[in-house]
Amino acid sequence: MGSSRGRARGMDRTAFVFDTIEEIKRAEKPDELMAILAKVGAQFGFNKACAVTSIPHTHQDFERYSYAERWPAGWHERYLERQYLNSDPVIKRLRRSTQPFAWHEVAVDRSKEAAARAIMDEATEFDLLTGFNVPIQSLKGQLATVMFAGDRFEVAWEDRPAILLIAIYAHDKMREIMGVRPLHPDQQRPLTPREIEVLKWTAEGKTSQDIADILSVSLPTVQSHITNLCRKLDVVTRAQATARAIRWGILS
């Protein structure tokens, strides 16, 4: 990836994203993909851990839902042994959010939530001082996340869309490597030319109202197209739709 740190922080975030996506495309094994994500995380201070994992429902076994992870030695074992999943404030936030978030943005009442406080305090023993999670949801209610953690937080607000797109793309690639692949819309109901047009403008960062003005159609019409294309792509958010469309060659 070269000097991707400079690219991520400068004006060329688009190049940073697509250079990284090209690397992800070539990954054939989980370890190769995790190495790419580790390099991405390191650009933003997350030099200790990264993970691509599904999030089980309450009281389900967390370990069997993991795709691939890199943690400091001993932390993952402690997390599983002490059954921290259902007390972890980050997991609680993941279950009710569709937007990426930093750990310091997770509200915890440290005076009332002793278990959550213990998790946060113990994480610091492993130099997991800060982190960033990208929630990934399917229309069927399945939840996953791509996570980065380390001892520094160097993510500008403008960096978040780049990390979001890379994370979603990497998650889809990891599922493919692991043998879990959603049906391409061409195998079900292909996207219409208008839906692809709306998706292209969405990928450009245009709002629904912007797209309505550009295409000279009503706002409800654009919203209907977005709802339909998300359903066909089996995604919940526009960012997910963009990443999956790039992955499948619908967008280039």
User: For residue 103, how many other CB atoms are within 10 A of its CB?
Assistant: 20
Q: Is the pLDDT of residue 1 over 50?
A: no
Highest mean pLDDT among 17-21, 106-110, 233-237: 17-21
CA pair distance 40, 67, nearest whole angstrom? 18
Q: How crowded is the C-beta side of 137, counted as CA atoms within 13 Å? A: 17
Q: State the average pLDDT over residues 52-70.
A: 71
pLDDT tens for 105-147 read 998 776 667 888 889 899 999 999 999 999 998 877 788 999 9
Coil, strand or helix at 15 = helix
- Return d(Cα 160, Cα 65) in angstroms, integer: 26
Q: Say what the pLDDT of residue 85 is.
A: 86
Domain positions in the chain are 4-177, 185-247
Stretch 204-216: mean pLDDT? 95
Number of Cβ within 10 Å of residue 27's Cβ equals: 19
- As a whole number, the mean pLDDT across the chain is 87
What global pTM score does this model have? 0.83
pLDDT reported for residue 3: 40
C-alpha angle with apex 189: 236 to 179, nearest 5 degrees? 65
Structure tokens at 198: 């709306």
Q: Domain 4-177 belongs to what architecture? A: 2-Layer Sandwich (3.30)
Rounded-to-integer distance, Cα 200 and Cα 174, Å? 24
Local structure of residue 191 (DSSP, 8 states): P
Establish how many alpha carbons lie within 13 A of residue 91's alpha carbon, considering only the half-sphere containing its beta carbon: 19
Q: What pLDDT does 6 receive? A: 43
CA–CA separation, 2 vs 33, rounded Å? Answer: 17
Written as one string, the DSSP assignment of 89-120 is: HHHHHHTT-SS-EEGGGS---TTT-HHHHHHH
Place of tokens 């520094």: 152
Starting at the earlier edge strand, list the strands of the sheet with 130-137: 66-70, 49-54, 143-150, 130-137, 101-102
Question: Dihedral angle at the C-alpha atoms of 202, 204, 208, 210, nearest 10 degrees?
Answer: -150
- Which residue in this structure is represented by tokens 């650009």? 43
Kindly report the backbone phi and psi dihedral angles of residue 127, in degrees, each rounded to the nearest multiple of 5, phi listed first. 65, 20
For residue 3, what are its two tokens?
């000097």
Contact 136, 113 (CB under 8 A): no
Of 126, 133, 117, residue with least CA distance to 53: 133
Query: Any idea which fold 185-247 has?
Result: Arc Repressor Mutant, subunit A (1.10.10)
Name the band, by pLDDT with cuts 50, 70 and 90, for residue 4. very low
User: Which stretches of 64-191 are DSSP H helices?
Assistant: 75-81, 89-94, 114-125, 160-177
